[in-house]
Chains A and B, each alone.
Chain A
Amino acid sequence: MDWLVEFPHMNDDSLRALKKTIDEGFRGFTRSHGDTIEALFSPLKFFLIHSERIMVEAPWPIVTAVILAIAWIGSRSWRIVLGCLVTLLAIGFFGMWEDTMRTISMIFVCTLLAVVIGIPIGILMSRSERFRRVMNPILDVMQTMPSFVYLIPVVMLLGIGKVPGLIAVVIYAIPPMIRLTDLGIRLVDKDVLEAADAFGSSNWQKLTKVQLPLALPTVMAGINQTIMMALAMVVVASMIGVQGLGQPVLKAIANQYFTLGLFNGFAIVGIAIMFDRVSQAYGKRLQQHREVTHG
């Protein structure tokens, strides 16, 4: 009755052999193709380094002014701009300016990448039921798989640094971008689509003139979610060498520096709220002409 008490599993030797074979297979792949793949990602690395350099080396009043200008253009609300100013000043005053700039630069590049990859995938999902069925479980895996697990092969391939960090963050943060693009396009009013058809719109015209503009508020919600999730990954990414606010937090965990952890944690929360309020206000502004009703 052994099999009732203990789950009948593969015998230990073959299990070990299986793991070893896969590991060695991947290691072999890394050895033979690692350089090629690294070269493939080098434009990304270039982009990352330069964006970070601009953020860190530019004088802080200019950076502050630019961020506030973006906040104003996005939200058209003095309250939000003032909130951003206070947050930035507090971060600078508590000596976290440089790390914050690194993090903002990283989040910016991650979000950009997630948008550039995510929107086309979302569009494809909205058009093809079959592609959607394939993508859904993949997105589930991306969202639920502990990020450390996919950090292993990424680090094996690309080593430690910014690019593997970027990939890890994008994998984690891109699913809402894809899902909400798909959803936004699917939610477009059937009557309006029929009208577009009746006037002889080609598929491309329908997409660019009707579906995407009408899906934009939902897509904006996706971008907002992506930014939030990317920020949540900052600490994990710091484990593989991404500089920024995550590293002091990591140090604080290792050495039990409560205040250091708290300050940097709050800085992350601060920029999260900044990003969130500005992007939400922008999304809301996009829908303005839908909310105004006559009468």
Chain B
Amino acid sequence: MADRAAGGIQIRNLYKIFGSDPQAYIDAVKAGMTKAELNEKHGHILGLRDINIEIPSGTIQVIMGLSGSGKSTLIRHINRLIDPTAGEVLVDGTDVVKMTEAELLSFRRQQTGMVFQKFALLPHRNVLDNTLYGLEVRGIDRQKGIDTAMRWLDRVGLKGFEQKYPNQLSGGMQQRVGLARALANDAPVLLMDEAYSALDPLIRTDMQTMLLELQKELHKTVVFITHDLDEALRLGDQIAILRDGEIIQQGSSQDIVLRPADDYVANFVKEVNRGRFIHVDAVMAPFSGSAGPDDQPAIPAEATIEEAARVVMAHPAGSATVRGKDGKAIGVVSLRDLTAAMVKAEPVATR
């Protein structure tokens, strides 16, 4: 039942109420008391309501929401920087909520790394000493720590900056230090709390690319918080959208773009470049037995519409064969289908 691979995370029935006596209201909230009622009548704030997320090991889970939606609260439950009012947070099958103080320390040291919106580097330590902070806390031999830290600094492109202090660096570089510090721990879970929100757009895109490249070889379980839909769609294997402490939709980028759960989500995805997130197999016409014409190009099923359009445009045939993972032709897609899906001219057929 539970995903036992390293770093898999399950969040079950998680509730968080902020206030002087949260336990007194948990039953009422479970029975359906609204956030507004709880606040007005009892002076408690409902942070999270009934959160359930399954994050398979080795995937990037994006949690998206506007400010005040509870996303930063949610990520802090995974390494228990915040204690929940009710519910379970299982990492590798172990409930973080039930850990003792000592177990929690060792869990944070061995299993998680975290990157923060405001970087949260230690201003009195240089880049190198910041990067090896996690290793130092674990009691790892300093020389070994330096080797590891230098390797990660090199990976995030900060070679030569080891002796600088954080405030001598730009925001983007500071966050690279933050990332190197989290990665140096070699923990299976990487928590990124609006890690790129404070960066300007170009640097943000760079950092996203770097994360995706690193993820290709590291296969960590990444929980990434953002308020930016483009970022969410670009990075997320799975996306959960949070509003007022509740999850209103979970799914892949394509699910979110194609089938927004309500007006709130629909409003978000309105301006999105659909061509980048919808895959061709969602818009193709499936084959009914016969193989397609030989004189047209082939496209893998998981290609995006934009990529497919580029291929089809370059070819006189005006359409392409869609091939599944096993290489078998599973459908055909025309330039017309692709364009229609991109501009949302007609309802798109669901798979």
Q: Known: A191-B118, A195-B120, A213-B124. Contact between A200 and B168, CB under 8 A? A: no
Once A198-B79, A290-B167, A292-B168 are accepted as A-B contacts, the answer to whether A210 and B120 lie under 8 Å apart by CB is: no
- Does any Cβ of B come within 8 Å of A209's Cβ? yes
Number of A-B contacts (CB under 8 A): 82
Known contacts A202-B105, A209-B136, A197 near B167 by CB under 8 Å: no
Task: Known contacts A194-B81, A195-B120, A292-B167; decide if A200 and B114 are in contact (CB<8 Å).
Answer: no
- A289 in contact with B167 (CB, 8 Å): yes
Complex CA distance for A189 and B124, rounded to whole angstroms: 12
Asked whether any CB of chain B lies closer than 8 Å to the CB of A135, the reply is no
B105, A198: Cβ atoms under 8 Å?
A: no
Question: Which of B104, B114, B123, B126 sits near A199, CB closer than 8 Å?
Answer: B114
| Contact (Cβ within 8 A) B134 A293 | no
- Cβ 8 A contact of A198, one of B108, B118, B126, B136: B108
Are B81 and A200 neighbours in the complex by a CB distance under 8 Å?
A: no
Q: Does B334 contact A (CB under 8 A)?
A: no
* Contact, CB under 8 Å: B116 / A289: no
**Assembly CA distance A202 to B101 (angstroms):** 10
Residue B1 interfacial (CB < 8 Å):
no
Contact A199 B134 (CB under 8 A): yes
Q: Is A214 an interface residue (CB 8 A)?
A: yes
B79 vs chain A, min Cβ distance (A): 6
Please, which residues of chain A bring their CB within 8 A of the CB of B170? 294-295
Asked if residues B116 and A195 are in contact (CB atoms below 8 Å), the reply is: yes
Asked if B137 is at the interface (CB within 8 A of a chain A CB), the reply is yes
The docked-state distance in angstroms from the alpha carbon of A295 to that of B173 is 12
Report the minimum CB–CB distance from A66 to chain B (whole Å). Answer: 29
A195-B120, A200-B108, A214-B123 in contact; A294/B185 too (CB < 8 A)? no
Q: Are B167 and A199 in contact (CB under 8 A)?
A: no
B185 touches A192 (CB 8 A): no
Known: A213-B124, A289-B124. A198 touches B114 (CB 8 A): yes
How would residues 190 to 221 of chain A score, 1 for a CB under 8 Å from any chain B CB and 0 otherwise?
01101111111110010001100110100000
Chain B contacts with A in 106-164, Cβ cutoff 8 A: 106-110, 112-114, 116, 118, 120-124, 126, 133-134, 136-138
Give the distance in Å from the alpha carbon of A214 to the alpha carbon of B122 in the complex: 8
Contact of A200 (CB < 8 Å), options: B105, B116, B191: B105
Known pairs A289-B165, A289-B167, A290-B167; A198 contacts B112 (CB<8 A): yes
Binary B-proximity of A265-295 (CB < 8 A = 1, otherwise 0)? 0000000000000000000000001101111
Q: Which residue of A lies closest to B168 (CB)?
A: A294
Partner of B120, one of A191, A202, A216, A294: A191
> Contact: B169 with A199, CB < 8 Å?
no
A197 touches B120 (CB 8 A): no
Which residues of the other chain, B, contact A292 by a CB distance below 8 angstroms? 165, 167-168
Interface size on B, residues (CB 8 A): 33
- A199→B108 contact, CB < 8 A: yes
Nearest-neighbour CB distance to chain A for B192, whole angstroms, equals 11
Assess the B120–A200 pair: CB atoms within 8 A. no
In the bound assembly, the distance between CA atoms of A197 and B193 in angstroms comes to 15
**A295 to B169 alpha-carbon distance, docked (Å):** 8
Which among A192, A194, A195 has the highest number of chain B CB atoms within 10 Å? A195
Chain A residues, CB < 8 A from B169? 294
| In contact, A197 and B81 (Cβ under 8 angstroms) | yes
Contact with A along B27-43 (1 / 0, CB 8 A): 00000000000000000
- Bound-state CA distance A211–B134 (Å) is 16
Bound state CA distance, A194 and B81, in angstroms?
Answer: 8
Interfacial chain B residues near A214, Cβ < 8 Å: 122-124
Q: Which of these, A202, A289, A294, contacts B123 with CB under 8 Å?
A: A289
Complex formed: what's the CA distance from A289 to B118 in Å?
18
CB-CB contacts of A168-200 with B at 8 A, as 1s and 0s?
000000000000000000000101101111111
Interchain nearest-CB distance for A136 vs B (Å): 24
What residues of B have a CB within 8 angstroms of the CB of A201 in the complex?
Answer: 105, 137
Closest partner residue, chain A, to B165 (CB atom)? A289
Closest B residue to A289 by beta carbon equals B165
Q: In this complex, what residue of B is CB-closest to A193? A: B120
CB distance from B316 to the nearest CB of A (A): 54
Pick from A192, A198, A202: contact of B122, CB under 8 Å: A192
Q: How far apart are the CA atoms of A202 and B167 in the complex, in Å?
A: 26
| Interfacial chain A residues near B104, Cβ < 8 Å | 200
In contact, B138 and A200 (Cβ under 8 angstroms): yes
Residues of chain B from 90 to 111 with CB closer than 8 A to chain A in the complex:
104-110
Chain B residues contacting A209 (CB-CB under 8 Å) are 122, 133, 136-137
The minimal Cβ–Cβ distance linking A264 to chain B, given in whole angstroms, is 41
Q: Point out the residues of chain A lying under 8 angstroms from B116, CB to CB.
A: 191, 194-195, 198
Chain B residue numbers with a CB within 8 Å of A199 are 108-109, 113-114, 133-134, 137, 181, 185
The 8 Å CB contact of A205, one of B120, B137, B181, B191, is B137
Please encode chain B, from 295 to 313, with 1 for each CB lying within 8 Å of some chain A CB and 0 for all others.
0000000000000000000
Query: What would 29 A/B residue contacts be, using CB atoms closer than 8 Å?
Result: A191-B116, A191-B118, A192-B122, A192-B123, A194-B120, A195-B116, A195-B121, A197-B108, A198-B112, A198-B114, A199-B108, A199-B109, A199-B137, A199-B185, A200-B105, A200-B108, A200-B110, A202-B105, A202-B137, A209-B122, A209-B133, A209-B136, A213-B122, A213-B124, A214-B123, A290-B167, A292-B165, A294-B167, A295-B170
* Known pairs A199-B181, A209-B133 / 9 extra A-B pairs, C-beta < 8 Å: A191-B116, A192-B122, A192-B123, A194-B120, A195-B122, A198-B81, A213-B124, A292-B167, A295-B170
Q: Across chains A and B, which 7 residue pairs bring their CB atoms closest together, nearest first?
A: A200-B108, A200-B109, A195-B120, A289-B165, A198-B114, A191-B120, A199-B134
